[in-house]
Structure 1
Amino acid sequence: MKVLVVGATGYIGAAVVHALVTRGDAVVAMSRSGKSPHEGAEGVVGELADTEVLSAAAGEADAVVHATAPTGDESVETAAIDALTRPGRPLLYTSGIWALGATGRDPVDESAPVNALPIAESRLRIERRVLAGGGTVIRPGIVYGQGAGIPAMLVGWAAEYGSGRYIGSPATRWPMVNVGDLADLFVRVLASAEPPRIWHAVDEPAVSTVALAAAADIAAGGPGRAERWSLGEAAEVIGEPLATALSTDQAIGSAHTARLGWAPKRSAVEDVERGSYVAGG
């Protein structure tokens, strides 16, 4: 299968490229630099605003993975989806669990109603456009692994402020997914005969942000302290939309992924505390 990966040098995109090449697919890795994150993939230059480039590359592919970070410009995002969509040809769009909003205490699956957080309102509209065009939406939890992603920010806060920090209520939980497991799910969805739909990609449905903050403190060389950061204080540093998202309690599972044999067993807290987020880990 020839697969076009848009956003191929990003955190998620690079992992997806690696997983596809490992499976034996012919991968076209599109990025602004044109560099491939894997020697087994063909690197090409392109970005979401280049609709002609996107359309031409998509026309030559058997499947497309959209793995870019949000641009902040909904019109660009919408035009890119239209350029990448082809009837009967798989398109996998990378969304996120913030499209759901707060979920309550018990894990919810893909059938749950959505109440998108402000940071994800436009992404929810893009999801609907993807689905209307026959595409598939994958909503990852908070992605971790390889010392990157939001947990790296937690470690940075611990180093800067002298202790781990969590935002808002100590009861807040995040659904987590390892970046390698996420890439494996993309591969499994592409290889399956499943119809286009929404998939939740979550290793652990609800991980305590207090536990993650304490693990980040250990990774930064501390004893495992975790201090509360008020939403207002955090918003002054990272902006209100992101601070609100990181303070939102979510518990998320999936009604579908087990059918693909996807049932990863990892620990985000363990990886932060003594894995890839520790210097030299």
Structure 2
Amino acid sequence: MALDIQTVPCLSDNYAYILRDAATGTVAIVDVPEAAPLIAALDARGLDLDMILLTHHHDDHIQGVEELRSKYGCKVIGGKADAHRLPTLDQAVEEGDTVTVGESEGHVLDVSGHTVGHIAFHFPDSDAVFSADSLMALGCGRLFEGDGPMMWASMQKFLNMPDSTIVYSGHEYTQSNAKFALSIEADNHDLIARAARIDEARQRNMPTVPSSLAEEKATNPFLRAHIASVKSAVGMPDATDAEVFTEVRNRKDNF
């Protein structure tokens, strides 16, 4: 059975996610930007909390952890490579490991780039990947600790997932990401249409996250660095995919 997934807005532009395994009632949260909205969402549904899954160490993803841990006695799971700068972990995981939310199995992926040691959780039976600040809606995280080739290697892991996968990322940055994407591929008709839908959604204060991986593959420049038309668009027709990705990321940083 698939996970029931609820998107919970936190802080000014973060998202956290409540995962409930239908078969067992087990509940997990992915990232804790702040505690209050998550406690309110759990209370509204009469849910307890069994575990927290952390993607990376930045404060806007972990600063509510201790409040939830003290309230619910939940277990905290995060990346082994990040353990020294995360809240105390009950379970440290790395790529190749699995986490179980009831009967739902999630695969841990190393998606370093935004930070070194950033992980994602892929639940293939639920067609869901929790990517936080690695792959984002129409974007990717700024490279604070990694470099272009490292992040491009992480992007490959998303490109290899089925198109039906839903991408649950960490922030509401999609509208500004769309403006940048159009500066790279102004004639991408899928992107033009998506940008219009995003503008309409934001006018109504509706979230643009999560997004489908099929849509990301068709419109997200950070997943398209291997495509000849994108290479030509940035004036690098003969460059490697990683070189083109790095150029696109540099352009976004200066956009």
Question: Taking structure 1 as the reference length, what is the TM-score of the superposition?
Answer: 0.33
Would you tell me which structure has more strand in proportion to its own residues?
Answer: 2
Question: Taking structure 2 as the reference length, what is the TM-score of the superposition?
Answer: 0.35
